[in-house]
Amino acid sequence: MFESPSHWLVVAIVAVVLFVFWKQLPDVARSVGRSLRIFKTEMKGMAQDDKEREAAKESQAEAPRALPTAEVVRNPQASAEPAAPSRPRPRPAPPAGGSAER
């Protein structure tokens, strides 16, 4: 069964991992399980997205629809009175306590 040195090497590596990292094994197993669960959920979601995309392509290919006509809405205030002319803004005052000379 274990005639090749590579078999002994694999057994030794597994034994060392179990002996040294035995406290972390439950956490590692839990995180691997969570990752697999998330991966499985994403794969199901991708398959469902593909089905929805195919259904959308089939419905679009059946009958192209025209857009509804646009409705023109007038602004009643725009024609009532023109906008007031803008006044120039006042210049800011120089800071107090600063030097007035430049």
Half-sphere exposure of 10 (CA within 13 A, CB side): 6
Half-sphere exposure of 2 (CA within 13 A, CB side): 7
Q: With a cut of 80, say whether residue 63 has pLDDT above it.
A: no
**Predicted confidence band of residue 1 (pLDDT cuts 50, 70, 90):** low
Q: With a cut of 80, say whether residue 77 has pLDDT above it.
A: no
Global pTM reads 0.40
Sign of the Cα pseudo-torsion (13, 14, 19, 20, in order): positive
